Amino acid sequence: MASKKRKRAKPNQANRSDAGDSSTTTTPVEPVVAAIEISDRFAAKPWLTATIILAVVWWIALSLLGLFSANPTTVNRQQIVDSDLVVEATVKDRERGLVEVKQQWIDPNQRTSLTVTGLEEFELNNGDSVVLPITGGADGTFYLTRVQRTNSQPEGKTYIYPSTEVVFRQVEEFATIK
């Protein structure tokens, strides 16, 4: 027995009538693909669902960690040790350097207000609460304490700190070294 070869119809000639009448053409038959719902895909692969949930939880955890613990304030220990006085103060007049003292460390003489030279260098607003490491001058004026000179900072630098519990704990710890 000889096998018969079937001829395949060309796509543009599919489903035409044999009579040659071109007016009776129909749309070619396309294979029907079963649509699978997204939920069915996840139900079929529980490891995929678990992986996606784990990835989302991990992403949220990293975001929260970065938001709440990134860049904590670090107080310069040497600056606190070198200071004659460290105060938590509210800025009353930044241009003139006038501050109202809320709390102080190191110096036993209680003060209610001070005039501090060097506040104008910082972007502060009147009413801001900050921690200021201060050195007293021989003429009775107060200056922000400069960090000792290093090779990378030959002129030294002054730092002020935000009024937060983290800063208070560090200042209290460093103030006991003196």
Q: What pLDDT score does 33 carry?
A: 43
> Is residue 103 situated within a structural domain?
yes
With tokens 């930044």, the residue in question is 94
- Residues 64, 106: one domain? no
* Mean residue pLDDT across the chain: 78
pLDDT above 90 coverage of the chain, percent: 21
Is the pLDDT assigned to residue 12 strictly greater than 70? no
* 5: pLDDT strictly greater than 80: no
Q: What is the pLDDT of residue 87?
A: 92
Q: Using a CB cutoff of 8 Å and minimum separation of 24, what contacts does 170-177 make?
A: 170/74, 170/75, 170/77, 170/80, 171/75, 171/80, 171/86, 171/105, 171/131, 172/105, 174/75, 174/77, 174/80, 174/81, 175/80, 175/86, 175/105, 175/106, 177/77, 177/80, 177/81
pLDDT at 111: 81
Distance, CA of 117 to CA of 111 (rounded, Å)? 16
Same domain, 133 and 166: yes
| pLDDT score at 32 | 42
Structural domains counted in the chain: 2
Range of the domain at 153: 77-175
Phi-psi label, residue 43: left if phi above 0, alpha if psi -120 to 50, beta otherwise: alpha
Which among 14-18, 57-61, 75-79 has the top mean pLDDT? 57-61
pLDDT for position 35: 47
pTM: 0.59
Residues 61 and 87 in one domain: no
Q: Would residue 1 count as lying in a domain?
A: no
Q: What is the pLDDT of residue 132?
A: 93
143/94 same-domain check = yes
CATH number of the domain at 113, please: 2.40.50.120
Per-residue pLDDT tens digits for 26-75: 555 444 444 445 556 656 678 888 899 999 999 999 999 888 887 778 88
One domain for residues 104 and 83 = yes
Asked if pLDDT for residue 20 goes beyond 70, the answer is: no
pLDDT at 44: 66
pLDDT tens digits for range 98-143 = 899 999 888 777 788 888 888 888 888 889 999 999 988 667 788 8
87, 162: one domain = yes
